[in-house]
């Protein structure tokens, strides 16, 4: 069951050559989301993983992370918090910058998005270099949340994003 | 029950003055999403609305629409399709432009996101001027999908977004 879900997701992902730039093989998950029963099984898999863990909030990273995170929060009946690009969140925010190959970027979270002591699962679709997720972890820590695990649908193993998340529990359903 | 859900959502929405620009009172839904049981009741309300309608796919507009749309697709066990800003979707896309107060913008959909004849609910968080939703409706039509309804969480009635969606069924949980 577990094995077959992983295989099914892996084969449902569409490879897009040279997107967004030449030489990158993009993992397109829209072909996964298009299959309702498969999407349900994915979410239920995460629900089973976290149901007994005392998780109190899902934090989701813009914007494909919203898809997984919202369905998971709904299924678990717990609150959802959003990590977004700068300028998108309307209330008072904390900001964390992270390095890109050229330059830097940042993410924000509302200052009331996570309560002190809350046990949180951070969710995004893809673990690549890990910069965004690591910045989001810092934001959750600043709010005194406890990161139970950082969960992805897909991990690109060769990019070693786990190294940027050293010290965190990291879980990916499918690794390439 | 119905009435109390609307009241509860209305009072859970946070008003942010002068965001994103002076004179605009922004409706912040993060305070709704933060409350897990309330978010569940919202999604279950839409599920009840569409359960018997033969809806086959949810189409969600980037990016807060992803939050509602993904949870709804999960709850109904049907496929989810994404409408995004230009350049974000990796596969072959259709594009629809729409006018802004100054200039224009556009949204895209994958050309295989909706199948001919499919009955679709289009979802976004907020109906303001309606330009984005109207463009998304045109994309669904180009793919020969049938729009069962366009569903929002919030409608700003004075902006008359429904006029841009003339001919469509439009549903909003809360109207200001």
For A67, the closest chain B residue by CA position comes to B70
Tell me the HSE value of A135 on the side-chain side, using a 13 A CA sphere. 22
Question: Does the pLDDT at position B1 exceed 60?
Answer: no
Question: Does the pLDDT at position B138 exceed 60?
Answer: yes
Question: Does the pLDDT at position B2 exceed 60?
Answer: no
Instruction: For residues B110 and B93, give the distance between their C-alpha atoms in angstroms, rounded to a whole number.
Output: 4
Q: Which residue has the tokens 């496929």?
A: B79
The residue range of the domain holding A65 is 53-175
Residue B15 lies in a domain: no
Residue A3 has what pLDDT?
61
Question: Does the pLDDT at position A29 exceed 70?
Answer: yes
Residue A106 lies in a domain: yes
Tell me how many domains chain B contains.
1
pLDDT band at A167 (very low <50, low <70, confident <90, very high): very high
Residues B145-170, mean pLDDT to the nearest whole number: 96
Residue A163 lies in a domain: yes
The fraction of chain B above a pLDDT of 90, given in percent, is 91
Residue A155 lies in a domain: yes
Residue B3 has what pLDDT?
61
Q: Is the peptide bond before B63 cis (omega within 30 degrees of 0)?
A: yes
Residue B107 lies in a domain: yes
**pLDDT tens-digit readout, A103-136:** 899 999 999 999 999 999 999 999 999 999 999 9
Q: Considering the entire predicted model, what is its pTM?
A: 0.97
pLDDT band at B82 (very low <50, low <70, confident <90, very high): very high
List of chain B residues whose C-beta atoms are within 8 Å of the C-beta of residue A26 = 90
Q: What is the CATH classification number for the domain harbouring A113?
A: 3.40.50.2020
pLDDT band at B134 (very low <50, low <70, confident <90, very high): very high
Residue B8 lies in a domain: no
Instruction: For residues A73 and B38, give the distance between their C-alpha atoms in angstroms, rounded to a whole number.
Output: 11
pLDDT band at A101 (very low <50, low <70, confident <90, very high): confident
CB contact under 8 A, A30 and B110: yes
Q: Could you tell me if B87 lies within 8 Å of chain A, comparing CB atoms?
A: yes
Residue A135 has what pLDDT?
98
CA nearest B134: which of B161, B165, B109, B169? Answer: B165
User: Which residues are CB-neighbours of A58 under 8 A, at least 6 positions away?
Assistant: A69, A72, A73, A76, A78, A79, A80, A81, A120, A121, A123
For A66, the closest chain B residue by CA position comes to B67
CB contact under 8 A, A30 and B81: yes
State chain A's mean pLDDT as an integer: 96
**pLDDT tens-digit readout, A44-70:** 999 999 999 999 999 999 999 999 999
CB contact under 8 A, B33 and A66: no
Joined together, the tokens standing for residue A10 give 């892996």
Residue B76 lies in a domain: yes
pLDDT band at B102 (very low <50, low <70, confident <90, very high): confident
Residue B20 lies in a domain: no
Could you tell me the CA-to-CA distances from A127 to A131, A152, A158, A173, B80 in Å, in that order?
9, 6, 10, 11, 22
């Amino acid at each position: 069951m577990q094995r077959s879900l992983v295989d099914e997701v892996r084969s449902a992902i569409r490879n897009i050559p040279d997107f967004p730039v030449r030489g990158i093989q993009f993992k397109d998950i829209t072909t996964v989301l298009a299959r309702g029963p498969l999407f349900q099984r994915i979410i239920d898999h995460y629900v089973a993983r976290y149901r007994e863990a005392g998780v109190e909030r899902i934090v989701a990273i813009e914007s494909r992370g919203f898809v997984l995170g919202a369905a998971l929060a709904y299924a678990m009946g717990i609150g959802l918090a959003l990590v977004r690009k700068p300028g998108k969140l309307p209330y008072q925010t904390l900001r964390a910058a992270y390095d890109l190959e050229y330059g830097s970027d940042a993410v924000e979270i509302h200052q009331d998005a996570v309560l002190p002591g809350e046990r949180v699962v951070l969710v995004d679709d893809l673990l690549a270099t890990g910069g965004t997720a690591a910045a989001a972890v810092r934001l959750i820590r600043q709010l005194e949340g406890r990161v139970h695990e950082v969960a992805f649908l897909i991990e690109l193993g060769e990019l070693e994003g786990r190294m940027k998340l050293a010290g965190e529990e990291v879980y990916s359903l499918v690794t390439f």
